[in-house]
Structure 1
Amino acid sequence: MRGLSRARRSLDWGFPRWRGYGSARDATTVRLCDRHGCEEPGDCPAPKAPNSPDRWYFCQRHAAEYNSRWDYFEGLDKLEKEERAKAERAENAGYAEAQHYGWGGSGDGSRSADEMRALDVLGLETDADFPAIKKAYRNRAKEVHPDVKPGDAEAAKRFQALQLAYEVLRKAEERREWKG
C-alpha cells in the first residue's frame, strides 16, 4: 500500500491574498514623463503638433502646464476657427444639458456645503488641506483683528466671519480624524 500523500492546497485562492506580494510577478514597465528631469509616470498623452499622431507622455502636472499654452485653433483662419468652435459647442451641448447629474457644487463631494462656504470666506480652493486653512485664517485674521483696527465695525464683522469659517473647518477636520 502506497503512502497516503496529502494534496497541498494552493495559497493563491480567495481573499485576503495568502501568497506573498511580488512573488512570481514580472516587473511592469512604467513610462516616465517626457519632461526633462521628471521622474513621475507619464500617463497623460499630449499631441506634439496639431493634427499629428505623435504624442508626448507627461505626468499630470506637466500635462496641465503643456495644455495651458495649447492653441487648439492654431493655423486656422478666422472663418475656420468659428466653424470648428461652433461644431465643438454643438457636439458638447449634451454634456451641458446633463450637468445637473454631477455634484451640486465644486469639490469632490467630501465637503459639506457649510465647509465650501467657509472655504470661500477664507478665499481658499476646494481641495485645501488643514494646514493651508490654518495659515489663511491666521493671515486674514491679523488684518482685521479688533486689536489692529479698534472701533472699525466692518473689520469686526469680517473677523467674526473668519472665526466662524475657521471653526466650521476645524470641527470638520476633527470629525475626519476621529473617523479615519
Structure 2
Amino acid sequence: MARSNDWGFPRWRGYEDSREAATVRLCDRHGCDEKGDCPAPKSPNSPDRWYFCQRHAAEYNKGWDYFQGLDKEEAAKRAKSEQAESAGYAEAQHYGWSGSGDGSRSADEMRALDVLELEADADFQAIKREYRARAKKVHPDVKPGDAEAAEEFQKLQLSYEVLKAAEERREWKG
C-alpha cells in the first residue's frame, strides 16, 4: 500500500510534491530545453501564443511594437487605457528599494548620466559639479564658432535638465 501524508485538510505536503510526472512545457525556440513559461503573441492582435523561456522571451520582445497595425486613433486610445490601468504602479514607485541598480532611475536619466560619465548612484551634488566642470570647457563663450563644442554643450545641458527635473520630482514626492 502506498504511503501518503496528506490526510485531509490541511495538506501536509505541497501540491507539486507528488511522485507522479508533472507536465512541463518546453520553450518553443528550436533547440532550447528550458521551461517555456513566458507567453508571447505569434502576431499582433492574435490569440495564438508562443511559449518561451525568459531568455528567449526577452530576445523576442526586444523589437516588439505593441501598436503595429493600428491606426493613430486606435493606438492613442489603447495607450490611454493601458496607462490608466497601470497608474497604480506608478503611484507606488516610492515603495521601491533605493540605491543603484534598483530601477529607481528612468532610461532617460541613465542616458543623461552616461553623457556626464557618472555612475547610476551619483547624488545630485555630484551631477551638478560634473555638469559645471564639463560645461565650462565647451561653453560657446569659451569656444566661439566651434560647432562640435556647441553640440557637446547642448548634450550636457539637456542631460542636466533631465536629471534636475527627476531630482525635483523625487523631492516633491518624498
Scaled to the shorter chain, the TM-score interval is 0.3 to 0.5
- Greater Cα radius of gyration, structure 1 or 2: 1
Could you tell me the TM-score, scaled by structure 2's length? 0.46
